[in-house]
Amino acid sequence: MKLHEHQSKELLKKYGLPIPEGYAAFNIKEAKEAAQALGGYPLVVKAQIHCGARGKAGGVKIVKSDEELEIFSESILGKVLKTVQCPSGKLVSRLLIEKATPIEKEFYLSITLDRSNSKILVMASKEGGMEIEELSKEKPDAIIKEYVDPALGIMPYQARKLSFELGLNPSLFGKIVTKLYQAYMDLDASLVEINPLVLTKDGNIVLLDAKIEIDDNAAFRHKDIEELEDITQIDPLEVEAKKYGLNYIKLDGNIGCMVNGAGLAMTTMDIIKLAGGAPANFLDVGGGASVEQISNAFRILTSDENVKAVFINIFGGILRCDRLAQGLIEAAKIVNVKIPVVVRLEGTNVEEGRKLLKESGLNFESALDMWDGAQKAIKLAQ
C-alpha cells in the first residue's frame, strides 16, 4: 500500500526526523489556512499523488502571495496530473503546503528489501533528486549500499560510514539513518525513500520529500495506517474487486481474462499477446472461485468498456471442473453477460464440467486448450 508524501512525513515526524513544517489541504480554504498557520511566504505547494516526477510535470510550485497560492491551487486541485512515471495520470485531490527550504545540496536516501539475499538494504547517493532507476543505470558507482544484519539492525558505524561517504555531519546524518530504519521496521514498510534529502544553507539536514510503501501482508497489524489509503489513486475497478477478495489489475487491451491462480492469470495475459491480442486485465479469482466471486468477477470485467470478449481459463484441481462449471452458469445468469465468452476448462472432472456448460443453454464458446481459447477470444472480439 502506497502512502502520500504528507502522510509519510507525518509518520516520520513522530520519530523526531527533520521534516519541513507543513499542512495538507483538500481545498483552497484549507490551503489559505495552512499558509496563515505557517506565518507567511514563500511557501511550496506540492500536488499529492501516488506517482513520482511531479516537479517536472508542474505539480510543485513556489508561491509568494495569497493570490499566487489561490491561482495555483485552483489550477491543480481536482485535475489529473500526468507525469513521465504515470502517463495516464493521477487525480490531485489534496495538496501539501510547506515552508520553503533554502537548499545547499541534494542527496538520495532509501531503505528497502534486497530480494536476492533477503536483507534490508540502505542506499544513499550524492546525486539527490534523480530517480534511483536512472541513477543505477547511468552512475551505478554513485550509489552507496549498506546491508543490515537481521539480528543486529543497522549499526552506528554503518550510519557513520554513509555520512562520511556523503560528506555529511555524522552526528546529524547518522541519527537520521538510524531513526529512518526504526520507522521502516515499526511500520512494516517495503520502501522508505527520501528523495531528496537536503543539506540546507544554514547547515541542517531536512527530509524534503518522503515516500513510504507498506507491506500489504502486514496490514493486519497496522489498522491505523490502513485507514490512510487514498482510493482516488487506485483504479475504481481494482478497489471494487478487492472488496470481493478478487485480485484484479486493469490493463489497456480488449480481452477480459478470468483465471484461477496468479501464475496462470499472468500466463493467460501472455498467451493472448502471443496470439496477437491484448489483455484487458489481470484477474485471479483464487482457488475457491465461488458463485459470488465469479459473478462479481463477470460484473467487474464487463464494466470495463474496452472489453469486447471474455476468456475464462480455469484449471480445476482440488476444486473440480463440474463445480466450477455450475458456478459459471449461475453467475452468468445473475450478471446477464452480453459479450462473447470463451471458456477453457481443464483438470479434475473436466468431462462433466464441459457437459454442464454445453447443456446450460448459455452461448459460451468452449476451447480445446489455452492457445485455442486465446485465438477464439481474439477473433470474437473483432
Q: Which residues bind other proteins (CB under 8 A)?
A: 113, 115-116, 118-120, 132-133, 136-137, 150-151, 185, 188, 190, 215-218, 220-221, 247, 249, 251, 259-267, 269-274, 279, 282, 284, 315, 317-318, 346-348, 369-372
Residue 108 is a catalytic residue: yes
Does 196 sit behind a cis peptide bond, omega within 30 degrees of 0 on the bond before it? yes
> What does 14-42 look like in DSSP terms, one character per residue?
TTT-----EEEESSHHHHHHHHHHHTSS-
Give, for 152, the enclosing helix (H) or strand (E).
none
Q: Taking the complex as a whole, how short is the minimal distance between the CB of residue 339 and other proteins, in angstroms?
A: 21
Q: Taking the complex as a whole, how short is the minimal distance between the CB of residue 122 and other proteins, in angstroms?
A: 14
- Among candidate residues 5, 193, 346, 365, the one labeled active-site is 193
Q: Taking the complex as a whole, how short is the minimal distance between the CB of residue 193 and other proteins, in angstroms?
A: 11
Residue 71 or 185: which CB sits closer to other proteins? 185
Strand segments, DSSP code E, in 268-337 are 281-284, 309-316
The set of cell numbers assigned to 64 is 509568494
Q: 367: which residues sit within 8 A by CB, 6+ positions away?
A: 342, 343, 344, 373, 376
The set of cell numbers assigned to 4 is 502520500
Sort strands 341-347 and 364-366 into parallel, antiparallel or unpaired: parallel
Residue 22 or 261: which CB sits closer to other proteins? 261
Q: Taking the complex as a whole, how short is the minimal distance between the CB of residue 118 and other proteins, in angstroms?
A: 5
Residue 332 or 370: which CB sits closer to other proteins? 370
- Among candidate residues 5, 98, 108, 248, the one labeled active-site is 108
Orientation angle between helical segments 5-13 and 170-186, nearest 10 degrees:
110
Q: Do residues 345 and 366 make contact, with C-beta atoms less than 8 angstroms apart?
A: yes
Q: Taking the complex as a whole, how short is the minimal distance between the CB of residue 153 and other proteins, in angstroms?
A: 11
Residue 115 or 243: which CB sits closer to other proteins? 115
Q: Cβ atoms within 10 A of the Cβ of 339, count? A: 14
Strand segments, DSSP code E, in the chain are 22-25, 43-47, 60-63, 80-81, 90-91, 95-99, 103-114, 119-125, 143-148, 189-200, 205-207, 211-214, 247-250, 255-259, 281-284, 309-316, 341-347, 364-366
Residue 72 or 108: which CB sits closer to other proteins? 108
Closest CA to 89 of 56, 49, 129: 49
Sort strands 143-148 and 103-114 into parallel, antiparallel or unpaired: unpaired
Q: Taking the complex as a whole, how short is the minimal distance between the CB of residue 207 and other proteins, in angstroms?
A: 21
Residues in a beta bridge with 95: 25, 47
Q: Taking the complex as a whole, how short is the minimal distance between the CB of residue 282 and other proteins, in angstroms?
A: 6
**How far is it, in rounded angstroms, from Cα 110 to Cα 212?**
10
The set of cell numbers assigned to 14 is 513522530
Residue 172 or 278: which CB sits closer to other proteins? 278
* Residue 179 DSSP label: H
Q: Taking the complex as a whole, how short is the minimal distance between the CB of residue 23 and other proteins, in angstroms?
A: 29
Residues annotated as catalytic are: 108, 193
